Amino acid sequence: MEEVLPALSDAAKNVPHVVMTRKHAARVPRPQDRTSSADASASEIRQIRWGKISSKPHRNIVSFNLELKQLSESADLNGMLRVLGRMRALGLVPDVVTYATCLQCCRKLGALNEASLLFERMAQEEVEPDQYVYSIMISIFGHASPPRVRESLALFEEMRNAGFRPNTVTCNVLLDACARGCEVLCALQVYGFMKENNVKFDEMTFCAMSRVYLGVHMFRDAEEMLKLMRRSGLTPSISSYNLLLERMRKAGKNQAALDLFERLCNDDSAGVAISKGTIKQAFKAASGLCSNAKKNAKAVRTLYAQLGSLGVAPARADVLRWTGVALAKPAPMELMASHATNRIPCRKLESRREDADKLLGR
């Protein structure tokens, strides 16, 4: 018994020491929380100690790329540039995914200068751009004001020299730049390159070539490109024809625009159904046929009667807003006589009056 009591007293003496050690141990930062200023900023150290973010000593490039992607979705280019600065402060070198994400945000905002600086920084850091990066840069130069087609073409050639085979997307981006800059010769070179290298054509290819011809008022060639698109097994959208009608009308080719509208109504091989935008362009073309206002008003009323016979005539208020011509409500017998003498046969529209009513919101 006497031997046990000294042992218990010795244990009692050690208990406060054990308790104090645990109390102080709770206040001591864990070894993985001790991050020097060279590894992370002061704000990140505070966030680590308060448990707001992970207590890892280093962030990898994947986590930064995810953060950049979120900032790109919100088009926060300044925030993305700050993240790039933090990456370099931590000793991380951005990779091609990092730069592609930043360049995509530049393309959304039309930030040509920032994109050029980022592309130059890639070369300084010896980060090899991939085909996606080249396509983004071509698009950025093509959407500049004014479009910088020569720089886009130079990037296209640089991409080929780097060993990348241009695909349909890259060629379409360059054709879009040519269409914006009205560079017909450059567009024909790209179109010929696609033919020679068996690059697949899609709807965007034909539409871009059509807009190239529209930019220099080559309306027949633009229409032929849409016909070639149909012969290739693709169906042009009605918006392409609406753009063609609008450009023809603004160039003073009102009669040619009305002829195209009639062909769209009668041609079964066109493969498109006229929309409200198509009818709008037709009425505007009819109202600008000549300098005589009375003849123009007569042409508008005739077109309205023709479309009325097909069940696709727009509202009179719309015609007044488009052309400035007020349409009087005709008597039923007069309307029937007008329909009998001015009827335009239209492809499958007689059996689709309900669809036309839904399209026109009636």
Domain ranges of the chain: 264-362
pTM of the model: 0.70
Question: Six-digit token pair at 112?
Answer: 């040509």
Which pLDDT value is given to residue 345? 42
Which pLDDT value is given to residue 313? 80
Which pLDDT value is given to residue 315? 85
Mean pLDDT, the chain, whole residue set: 78
């780097």: which residue's tokens?
162
What is the rounded average pLDDT of the residues 271-286?
Answer: 86
Task: Give backbone dihedrals phi and psi of 328, rounded to 5 degrees, phi first.
Answer: -80, 145
Whether the predicted pLDDT of 152 surpasses 60? yes
- What percent of the chain lies above the pLDDT cut of 70? 73
Whether the predicted pLDDT of 111 surpasses 80? yes
Residue with more model confidence, 183 or 328: 183
| Residue 344 pLDDT grade (very low, low, confident, very high; cuts 50, 70, 90) | very low
How far apart CA 336 and CA 342 sit, in angstroms, is: 10
355: CB partners within 8 A, 6+ apart: none
Whether the predicted pLDDT of 72 surpasses 50? yes
Which pLDDT value is given to residue 104? 94
Which pLDDT value is given to residue 268? 61
Residue with more model confidence, 351 or 243: 243
Highest mean pLDDT among 155-169, 313-327, 330-344: 155-169
Alpha helix locations (H) across 125-218? 131-142, 149-161, 168-181, 184-196, 203-215
| Residue 30 pLDDT grade (very low, low, confident, very high; cuts 50, 70, 90) | very low
Q: Which residues of 4-21 are buried (b: 16+ CB within 10 A; e: fewer)?
A: eeeeeeeeeeeeeeeeee
